[in-house]
Structure 1
Amino acid sequence: YQNTISLKICWHSLESDNEACKLFDAVLTQYATWANDESLGGIEGCLSKLKAADPNFMGHVIANGLELIGTGSSVRLNKELDGAMRTMMTLSKAQPLTEREKLHVAALDMFARGQLPKACDLWEQILQNHPTDLLALKFSQDTYFYLGHHIQMRDSVARVYPFWTPDMPLSSYVKGYYSFGLMETNFFDRAEELAREALAINQTDAWSVHTIAHVNEMKAEVKKGLEFMKEMETNWKNSDMLACHNYWHWALYFIEKIAPRCLSSGSMLDVVDNCSMLYRLHLEGVKLGDRWNNVLKLTKKHTKDHVLLFNDVHILMSSLGAKDHKATEDELKFSPCDDHELSLAPSLGLPLCQAFVEFENGNCDKAVDLLYPIRYQLIQVGGSNAQRDVFSQLLIHAALNSKSQAKQNLARCLLRERDVMRPNSPMTERLIRKAAAVHSVV
C-alpha cells in the first residue's frame, strides 16, 4: 500500500507507530479507489489491525467515518456505532490533538447528529490548510452527493486540484472525483476528458468509468455507452464497492431498448439501484413477477430508518411494488427534528413519496399535483442526475396517464424539454409517440 507520509496525512496521533500509519493509508487507499484489497484483508481487516496497532485515536476516526458515510448508518439507529462515536469523542478529549484532527472529530460529530452541511463546512476548513487531505476530500465528496450539492462537490475538488500533482499517490483518482462533479453540473465534454485522462493512468479506476457512463446516459448516447461499458468491463468489474452500480448504469442503456435485469448484493447502494431499476421497468410496463417481494426482504428492515430521503423514496418503491401496505405506511412516517434530512421531509420527502403512492393507486392527477411543484427542488434529496431521473420519468408517466387534458399537455411539454436535453433518446421518442396517441384520443 501507499506510503502515508507521501500523502502528507501522517496524523499526530499515529506518528509514533509506522505500522499504524501504513494501515491507516491502506484503509484510505481502498476507500478512495472503491475496491477492497483482499491481500490486505480488505477495509474491515485493515481497520481491525489499525485499531490494534494504535488503539488511541485516528483509527477510530476513519472507522466511524466509513460507517457513517460509507454505509449511511446513524447513531440514532445503531447502538454499536453510537458507542464507537462516544469512545472517539472521549479519546479526543484525553490527548493533545492538532487543529486538523480536532476538525475531523468535530465533522464526524456533526454528521452523526444529522447536520451534514455543517460537517462539510468543517472538512472544507481542513482542506483550506491541507489541500491534500484525502480523507477530508473523500468524506466531503460523499456527503455533498447525499445532499445533492453538486456545485459544491465540483468546486471542493477544483480548489485543491492544483495541489494534486502527478507524482502524488492517488492523484489520478482525484482527477476522477473532479470529473464527476463536472459531469453533474453539465460540463460533459470536460468531464469526459478528465475521466479519460484518469483512465489512461489507471484503467481500473471504476469511478472514472462511472463518470463516462453518466455522460453517455445524460447525452442519450446509447450505442456509445453500451460499447464503452463492454469494452471496459474487465477493468472495473473487480472494484467490488462500485461494480454493481456500474452494472446498473450499463443496464440503463438497455432500458432505453427494454431489456434489463437487476441484481443486488444487499449493500444500500445496490438496494437503491435495484429498486430504481425495477421501478423504471415497472413504468415501462414490464411484468416483474415476484421480484419486488425479493427486494422487500432487503428493504423492509429499513422502512423506519429515515436517515437519507433519497434512500427512503427508493425503499418506498419496493413496498409499493410488493403491495405491502404496512411497510408503505411506515415509510411515510417522518418524525420532525433538527436532522438536516428530516427537516426536508415536510416540503420534499413527503410530497415525493406521496406522489409515488398516488400514482400506484391510479390517482395520476394527484401525483402530478404533488410532484410538479417540487421538481426543481428535488436535487436537495441527493443522488446523481441519472439516479433522480426516475422522478422525472414518474412525472411524465403520471401526466400522460392523467384524465386531465391540461396535464396530458404538460406531459408533451415535459417530453419536448427532455428531447432537447437528450436528443435521439429511444425512451423519449417512445413516450412522445405515446403522448401523440393520447392526444389523438382526446
Structure 2
Amino acid sequence: MLTDSQGLPVANADASAIKALDHVLGQWLGYGKDFAPFMMLAAHATGVPLVQMQAAALNITMDDPAAHRAAGGQIALAEARAADMTERERTWLRGLSAWHGGTLDAAAGAFDDLARAWPRDLFAAKLAQLLYFNQGDAEGMLRVADMIVPANDGNGFVHGMRAFALEEMNRLEEAEEEARRAVAINRNDPWAHHAGAHVMETQGRLDDGIAWMEGLADTWDACNSFMYTHNWWHTALFHIDSERTDAALALYDQRVWGAWKEFCQDQINAVSLLARLELRGVDVGARWQDLAAYLLPRLHEHFSPFLDLQYLYGLARAGENAAVTEMLASLEDRAVRARPFERTAWVEAAVPAAHGLAAHAKGDWAMAAQLLGESLPHLQTIGGSHAQRALFGALWLDALIKAEWNDRALAELLANDHDRGNIAHTKRDLATIYTRLGRAEDALTARQQAERLARHYRAT
C-alpha cells in the first residue's frame, strides 16, 4: 500500500493519487486556490476512498446546497470501498458521514480521534479545528493543536493552527508568539497572519496591526477567495478603529467584495464590513443592494446560525423586507428542529438575535437592544471568532445608545474602553452618555481624549 508525504498509507492509491493528495494538503493548509486538479482527479479516481472523502470535505466546507449534494455522492463512493479502507480511513468515513448529516458534535469527535491517533494527518486535524470552531469550542481547537504539534514541530502551518486556537482562548501573548514562530518558519502562512491580526485587534494595537498585515499582504494573492478577502477584512477593521474609514471603504471595494461574490464567506465579510462602516457614520451608498442580490438565494439554507444572522442583516439593510420576513420564519422553523447539541445556538442565540438584527436594521432601537441583549450570552455557540461575533455586540451597543438606555450603554462602553482604551469612537460615545447623565466634566475629558487619539491617527 502506498503512503503519502506524511507517511500515512492510502488504500487503493496509485502514484497519481498520492501526488494529488500531497498537493491538496498543501493547498488546504495554506488556503491556496489550486483545488481544481484534485477535484478533477476525484471525478475519475472513484476507487480511492480517501480521495473521495477529502473531495467531500472540501465540498462540505463550501456551505452551499449543490456542493453539499456533491459531497453526498463522494461519500457514497467511499462507502462502497469500505472493505479496502485502513482504520484511519474508516474513522474519516465516520466523521464525514456525521458532518454531512448535520451531527457536528459527532463529526468533531471523529476528527478529534484522528488527530489523536494519527497526528501526521494534518488534513483531518484542520477539519477537527474547523468543526470545533463552528460550534464555538475554542478548548477543542486548542486540544487538537496540542495533540499534533509534537509530531509536526517543524511545520509552520501547525504553529499557525495553534496560534489561532490560543487567541480564541484569550491566551494572547502565547498566540502572538506562535503566530510569529509560524511566519518565521513559513512566511506564506495566511492563517498565522490572521491569528496575529486577531491578537492585535483584541489588544487595540491598531498601528501594529496595520503594519503586520500590510507587511505580509504581498503573499495573499496566492490565497483562495476566503483567506484573501478575510485578511483584507481584518486590515480594514484596523483602519476603521484608527479613524481611516475612507481607507476601509476602499478596501471593501477593491479587496473584500468582488473576488467571488457567490461564496458565503466573502458575503459575510462584506456584510460585516459594511455594517461596521455604517456604525461609524459612513454612507455606503448602494452597496447593500449589490450584496443583497447574492444573499437572496440563501433564505432557507441554514448551514450555520453564524452565517444566517449575517445574511439576514445584509438583506434587512438592503430593504429586502419580504425576504427578511421569510427568512425569520424559516429560521424559527430550523430552531424548532434543532438537535440537543445545537439547541442553544439556534433557539437561545440565533432566533432572538435574528429578530434583534431585523429591528436594528429598521431603526427600532429598543427592540434591538432587548433582543440582541437576550442573545449575546449565548452567541459563542453559533461559531465564528471573537472578532467576527463582535459585530453583534457593536450593533447591540449602538441600539442601547440610540434607545437612550444610558446606564446599560455606559457599563458596556466602560468595559470596551478598559479592554481597548485607544479607540476614539468609544471615547466619543462615552462623552455622549456622560452628557446625558449630567456628568459634564467626564464628558469633556472623554471628548478631549477622543480628539488626541484622532490627531495621533491622522498624523500616522
TM-score normalised by length of structure 2? 0.87
Tell whether 2:39 aligns with 1:47. yes
Deviation per CA, 1:285-325, whole angstroms, max 9, x where unpaired? 22121100100111111111111111101101111111101
Q: Which residue of 2 aligns with 1:10?
A: 9
Q: Which residue of 1 aligns with 2:322?
A: 326
Once the two structures are TM-superposed, the CA of residue 53 in structure 1 deviates from its matched residue by 4.4
Matches within 5 A, 1:259-408: 259=246, 260-261=248-249, 262=252, 263-264=256-257, 265-266=260-261, 267-332=263-328, 333-334=330-331, 335=333, 336-338=336-338, 341=342, 344-403=345-404, 407-408=405-406
Residue 377 of structure 1 aligns to a residue whose secondary structure is helix
Counterpart residue identity of residue 302, structure 2? H
C-alpha separation in 1, matches of 2:380 and 2:306 = 10
Counterpart residue identity of residue 429, structure 1? K
Q: Which residue of 2 aligns with 1:409?
A: 407
Tell whether 2:82 aligns with 1:83. no
Matches within 5 A, 1:216-231: 216-231=200-215
Correspondence for 1:172 among 156, 165, 180:
156
Once the two structures are TM-superposed, the CA of residue 435 in structure 1 deviates from its matched residue by 2.4
Tell whether 2:240 aligns with 1:255. yes
Once the two structures are TM-superposed, the CA of residue 342 in structure 1 deviates from its matched residue by 6.8
Q: Which residue of 2 aligns with 1:436?
A: 434
Q: Which residue of 2 aligns with 1:39?
A: none
Higher relative contact order (CA 8 A, sep 6+): 1
Once the two structures are TM-superposed, the CA of residue 433 in structure 1 deviates from its matched residue by 2.4
5+ long unaligned stretches in structure 1: 37-41
RMSD between aligned residues:
2.1
Deviation per CA, 1:56-93, whole angstroms, max 9, x where unpaired? 42111000011112x12358x8544433333333333x
C-alpha separation in 2, matches of 1:82 and 1:6 = 27
C-alpha separation in 2, matches of 1:122 and 1:74 = 24
* Cα 1:51–1:10 shift into 2, 3 Å: farther
Deviation per CA, 1:198-252, whole angstroms, max 9, x where unpaired? 1111111111111111111111111111122222221234323411110000000
5+ long unaligned stretches in structure 2: 441-460
Counterpart residue identity of residue 34, structure 1? Y
* Cα 1:78–1:131 shift into 2, 3 Å: closer
Q: How many percent identity over aligned positions?
A: 25
Q: Is the 8 A contact 1:127 1:137 kept in 2?
A: yes
C-alpha separation in 2, matches of 1:45 and 1:5 = 17
Correspondence for 1:140 among 100, 116, 128:
128
Q: Select between 55-64 and 432-441 the one with higher mean Cα deviation.
A: 432-441
Once the two structures are TM-superposed, the CA of residue 50 in structure 1 deviates from its matched residue by 4.4
